Structure formats: C-alpha cells, structure tokens
A and B are shown apart, each in its own frame.
Chain A
C-alpha cells in the first residue's frame, strides 16, 4: 500500500505538485489522467523516488520512504520515450534488473524467456534495441519492468508513441499482465478513453492538483467539480452559464426545465455541462433546450464529425455520427437534452449529474 500525505513539490518558484493526498492499494490499477504539464510525470517521479517532495510524506507499507534512494525501493518504471540500454542485447536488457539483484542464471533465463513470450519478443532476444521497431523497443522496456516483480509499477504514457493497433492490443493486455504480479499499478495518460478502458481507479490531475480520485466510472459519471469534468472529457465538456429563475435554467432567450431531482435549488447563477456526444442537432424526444448557434468549424473524421458551434459568445462542440454536410457560418439549432445535463454551482462544484439518478 502506497500512501501520499500532503505531498508538494516545488521547482524554483513553480509548484509542480500541489498538496496531493492519495492511497494506492496493493494489486490495484490506478490511472493518472490529465493534460500535458498537469503533473502526471512529476507525481510518478515522486512515487518512484527519483525526486524528493518539498513537503509531505510518502509511506510505503507503513514506512516513510522519503529520502530513500531509488535503488533500495522496489519499483519499476516505463517512460513514454523508449528507454533501453542500447549497448546491450534485448535479452540482457530484460535481464538487467535481475543481474543487479544477483538472481541465479537459471532463474534469470527462465523469467526473461517468460516475459519475452508475453511481450512477443522471443525472436528478437539477440538483437540490440536500436535494431527493433518502436513497438518492440517499448515492449522490451515493459518486459524489463515486468521481470523485476516490483511492488510499484509506474507506466508514464507507455503507449503514447505507439501506433494505434499496437496500442489497442497492449492496452488490453498490460493491466492483466501486471495485475497477476499483485503490484500497485500506476498508469499515466492524457486520454479519457484510455482511462475508461483500463478501469480501476482514476485520479484526475490539473495543474499539479488531484481534483478527484475515485473509481474510474464514478469519476466519469459524477465528476466532483467542473475542472474534473473537463479533464475527463475529450473533446472538453461544453459549459453554458445559466441563471435559474423559478423552475427553469435560462440562457439568453433559451430555457430548460430544471431536473426534478434538484428542483429545490435556490435561484441564481449556475453552469450547465453537456458532453459533446450528448449535443444534438435534432430536437430530442424529452425535455430539451434549444440554442441558436452559428457553425464556426467542422472536423470530419469519417465515422464521426465534430461540429464547433458559437452561441452568444459561448463556444461548444457537438459530436455527430457520420459525415454531416454543413457550411461554416450557417445558422443552426442545437439541443441540450435534459437527461444528460451536469449542473455545477457558482463555485464550480457538482450539484447534479445524470449518472447519479441511474440513467447513465
């Protein structure tokens, strides 16, 4: 069990990690989700012991490990860049942590071959890493992390530089492989999708702060505040500033009935959040809000189209299936479905999430 207690890290005048407290259970999959520069790597480096926190405690199985040299900790780490020892063969690369630990030759051989099998590296054991493809190089690094049998396995965007086929394959296999070792598994990613696919627990990071740490699906369904909701949505969640008057949320000339569960909310300013795939260009069946928009950009990926809308100075994105032919500058009506509204109060804390009512 790894506990971080009020951990902060300052570099010069910049605060890289801001008062992080979290507990990672043995044998769990933990995901650090956040955009670049949100502090994922910094946090991992603190967990690994490569950096020393400016303040706070890092406790591993009841012992404070702050200041303990990284060689003495039982951790494994894989970087986004493919980091191997170029002067050694793939076999020696995978064997290296065991060689240092003084494991006997027969055991080393058995475990290297096991790990190479799992990572589909068996034909390449005699090559040097620079003669391998990027995917094979990264799998070498993963195999080296695997044979170490570490208590804490840190993977820092390990699949970001791989092509998507390989990425999908490894994304499914990695958590399984490492779950068998019973290690604390920490996985950093910038992609909300990846977090959802991996499951486990997710910590959303924003500017060095952990905004929420909970079961991945719970963080997705009921983000505790606006920042978490925006981190855990790609493209970002659409935010509409509204005023509650009586039974309606009002935005300019548009209005929508307040969901029944929070009908008792006081009047005032609120923010409505809608995920892009819940925006619609056709009037939905239930209660909805109609917005008059103009189209500012469209991005067509084939099976999906992102349509960027502008309404009274608010920028929104709607995700549509299929290819939609729309002209930039066209006026169009967009609809927000009442059943998919997230409602945040003035302090950007969540007051209502659709998932909470069992509607998902």
Chain B
C-alpha cells in the first residue's frame, strides 16, 4: 500500500519536500528535528517566565491561607472560592473596584474628548511654535508622577476636591492627554486633508464632518488612545492614593493596606490581584489589532 514505507516517521515527516529530496537521510531529518526544538525552546522559555508570576497569583487565589504558608504546591490541594467570595461580599473590597472603574472611565472620556480637537489642530494646522508645543506636551510624560503629588494635593485641598473621583480623573489627565494627543495625531495625519475639504464642499459643517466622516476614519486610533489612557489610569497608584481617603479609594490602594492584626491575608490579596488584571486583559484583547496598527504608525 505505502510505496515509501522505508521512510522513517520523524519530526520532519510533515515537511514533504524534505522527504522527497532525501527520504533515506535520517541525519538530515534529525537536524531538522533539532532545529524545530530550538525554534520553540527560546520563545517557550520566555513565555514560561512571563507567565509564571501570573500563574502563581492565580494559583494562590484558589488556595487557603494555611496552604499558602505551609507548603509548596503547584496546584491548590483544596481549591476554594472563599477568597473571591470575600471580595465580592465585603464592601471595603468591592467599592475599591467601583471607585477605580469610575475615575478610570471618567479620565478616559475626558482625555479623549480633550485630545481629539488638540490632535486635529496639530495634524491640520501650522501655527507659531506648533512643533515645540507638540514636543512639550510629550515631555510632560517624562516627569515622574511623584513630582506632581504635592502640587495636586495642595491644589485639590484648596478646592475641596480631595477624595472625589473627578480629582483623580483630572490628575491623570496630566499624563494621559499628551499621550492621547500624540497617538491620535499620528492616526489623523494618515487621513488626507482632501477628505476634510471634500466634506466641506459636500456641505458638511465642521462638527458634523468631525463626528460623521472623520471619527469613523480614526476609530482605531481612538481605540488605541483610550486603551492607553485606561491602562495608565488603572495601574497608577501614587496619585490615586494620595488624592483619596475613603470615598474614592481605588483598589490598588486598598490592596496595599491589607496587613491586618492577623497578618497578611494572602489568599484574598491574590484574588484581588487576579481581578485587577482582568479588565486590562479584556481591553487588550479588544484593541490588539489596532495596537499593531499604532505600532506601524510609530505612535504607540
């Protein structure tokens, strides 16, 4: 039945041309097999090291505190959802998520709304010092957040904004608006300005053109910019913690204050960590293709 029965099944047997050329040369096939192992080895190890802490976090979140502290296990011996139940039932935990989501959402909306017209101006008009201003905007991101903690705290105290969601959202704009402008400008400059003019000639007013014609064209840019605003605001700890006390306290601040009288509640902390990763992972999943586009434009 099989005419080429002398062919040894090996790693290279998938590769038909290689078999046709020298079916009896086992050394060549071995070399091919070795090559395919090394090809997977490096990225495999890399991914393993990347995923290890995340796996360990998930692993811990299903263990009891006793198991975490007493033994080394790769899998939870007695898987439990107790840690998650604590978070979803204890208001001091879940309000942290709600607070975070509120100010992150506010910040993303404000940043994008402010950045859209600014980016349009930078991409379409030449004005005095436009290039310097564009760079200056970006240089805002170079300063560490700690630099701004004191002025923000003092300023917001004076206005009575401490411990409100809007305070954190506005403070994060300092970093996110320049970033969003930078990203959006790249996407907008990719749209020929003749499209703007054609729309005006067709009779569109500027706002109508911007919303109906222009925004769909840079939708992926808006997605990418929103993603970066979301991520920055979500993981930022210092400013968010300083500007809030109880009512608007973010989850990242709550997580750092879990050392109680009975010691550290490892399991609950791990479960909180897992829940903190999930929104970011979801957002990344939805904008992953757009981010690749952003990279191609050199703007991410």
Q: CB within 8 Å of B: which residues of A?
A: 48, 50, 69-71, 75-77, 79, 81, 83, 85-87, 96-97, 100-101, 141, 144, 148
CB distance from B202 to the nearest CB of A (A): 4
Nearest chain B CB to A136 CB, angstrom units: 17
Contact A71 B205 (CB under 8 A): yes
Interface residues on B, range: 10 to 19
List residues of chain A with CB within 8 A of the CB of B217.
Answer: 85-87
Return the chain B residue nearest A69 by Cβ: B200
Judge whether A76 and B194 touch: CB under 8 Å: no
| Bound Cα distance A75, B200 (Å) | 10
B79 within 8 A of A: no
Interchain CB contact under 8 A, A100 and B197: no
Given contacts A81-B192, A86-B217, contact A96 B197 (CB under 8 A): no
Q: With A86-B217, A87-B217 known to touch, is A71 a contact of B204 (CB < 8 Å)?
A: yes
Given A86-B217, A87-B217, check contact A96 B202 (CB 8 Å).
Answer: yes
Are A83 and B194 neighbours in the complex by a CB distance under 8 Å? yes
Q: Is the CB of B203 within 8 A of A79?
A: no
B198–A77 CB distance below 8 A: yes
> How many Å from the CB of B112 to the closest CB on chain A?
18
- In the complex, chain A residues whose CB is within 8 Å of the CB of B198: 77, 79, 83, 85, 141
Q: Is the CB of B201 within 8 A of A100?
A: no
Say if the beta carbon of B48 comes within 8 Å of chain A.
Answer: no
A87 touches B195 (CB 8 A): no
Residues from chain B with a CB closer than 8 A to the CB of A86 are 217
User: Once the chains bind, are B204 and A77 in contact (CB under 8 Å)?
Assistant: no
Taking a contact as CB atoms under 8 Å apart, the answer to whether B203 and A100 are in contact is: yes
Contact with A along B197-225 (1 / 0, CB 8 A): 11111111100100001001101000000
B194 near A81: Cβ-Cβ < 8 Å: yes
Q: Contact flags (1/0) for B174-209 with A, using CB distance below 8 Å?
A: 000000000000000000101101111111110010
Distance A86 CA – B201 CA, assembled complex (angstroms): 17
Q: Are B203 and A83 in contact (CB under 8 A)?
A: no
> What's the dominant secondary structure at chain B's contact region?
helix
A177 CB → nearest B CB, Å? 19
B200 in contact with A71 (CB, 8 Å):
yes
| Nearest-CB residue, chain A, relative to B216 | A87
Q: How far is the CA of A76 from the CA of B197 in the complex (A)?
A: 11
A-chain residues with CB within 8 Å of residue B208 when the two chains form the complex:
100
Complexed CA–CA distance, A71 and B197 (Å):
10
Q: Is the interface of A mostly helix, strand, loop or mixed?
A: mixed
Contact of B202 among A50, A81, A87, A144 (CB under 8 A): A144
- A76 cross-chain contacts in B, Cβ below 8 A: 201
| In the complex, residue of chain B having the shortest beta-carbon distance to the beta carbon of A73 | B201
Q: Is the CB of A83 within 8 A of B201?
A: no
What chain A residues lie within 8 Å of B195 (beta carbons)?
83, 85
Residues from chain B with a CB closer than 8 A to the CB of A100 are 202-204, 208
A97 vs B203: C-alpha distance in the bound complex, in angstroms? 6
Nearest residue, chain B, Cβ from A79: B194
Bound together, the chains give a CA A71 to CA B208 distance in angstroms of 12
Interface contact B201-A70, CB-CB below 8 Å: yes
* Cα of A155 to Cα of B17 in the assembled complex, Å: 56
Complex CA gap A86/B199 in Å reads 12
- Once bound together, how far apart are the Cα atoms of A148 and B195, in whole Å? 17
8 contacts between A and B (CB under 8 A): A50-B197, A70-B201, A71-B201, A77-B201, A83-B198, A85-B213, A85-B217, A101-B203
* Complex: A48 Cα to B202 Cα, angstroms: 11
Q: Is the CB of A83 within 8 A of B192?
A: yes
Given contacts A81-B192, A87-B213, 17 further A-B contacts (CB under 8 A): A50-B200, A70-B197, A70-B200, A71-B201, A71-B204, A77-B197, A83-B192, A83-B195, A83-B198, A85-B198, A87-B219, A96-B202, A97-B202, A97-B203, A100-B204, A100-B208, A141-B198
Write the chain B residue with the least CB distance to A76. B201
- Which chain B residues lie closer than 8 Å to A96 at the CB level? 202
Residues on the B chain within 8 Å of A69, using CB: 200
Residue interface bits B240-281, CB-to-A below 8 A is 1, else 0: 000000000000000000000000000000000000000000
B218 CB → nearest A CB, Å: 10
* Most chain B CB neighbours (cut-off 10 Å) among A75, A85, A86, A144: A85
Give min CB distance, B174 to chain A, whole Å.
33
Contacts of B213 on A, CB cut-off 8 Å? Answer: 85, 87
Chain B residue, CB-CB nearest to A48: B201
- B203 contact set on A, CB distance < 8 A: 71, 97, 100-101
Shortest beta-carbon distance from B8 to chain A in Å: 49
Residues of B within 8 A of A71 (CB): 200-201, 203-205
> How far apart are the CA atoms of A77 and B194 in the complex, in Å?
10
CA distance A333 to B130 in the complex (A): 61
With A and B bound together, what is the CA distance between A50 and B219 in angstroms? 26
When distances are taken between beta carbons in the complex, the residues of chain A under 8 Å from B205 are: 71
Give the nearest-CB partner of A145 in chain B.
B201
Interface centre among B197, B201, B205 (most CB of A within 10 A): B201
Across the interface, name the chain A residue whose C-beta is closest to B198: A83
With both beta carbons as reference points, the residue of chain B lying nearest to A80 in the complex is identified as B194
Q: Are B192 and A148 in contact (CB under 8 A)?
A: no
Establish whether residues A75 and B204, one from each chain, have CB atoms under 8 Å apart when the complex forms.
no
B105 CB, nearest partner CB in chain A, Å: 26
Chain B residue nearest in CB terms to A96:
B202
Chain B, Cβ-Cβ closest to A102: B203
A70 to B265, alpha carbons, bound, how many Å? 67
Which residues of the partner chain A approach B201 to less than 8 Å between Cβ atoms? 48, 50, 70-71, 75-77
Q: Which of B198, B208, B213 has its CB near the most chain A CB atoms (within 10 A)?
A: B198
Q: Which residues of B contact A81 (CB under 8 A)?
A: 192, 194
Q: How far is the CA of A75 from the CA of B202 in the complex (A)?
A: 8
Q: In the complex the two chains form, what is the Cα distance from A77 to B216 in whole Å?
A: 22
Docked CA distance A141–B192 (Å)? 15
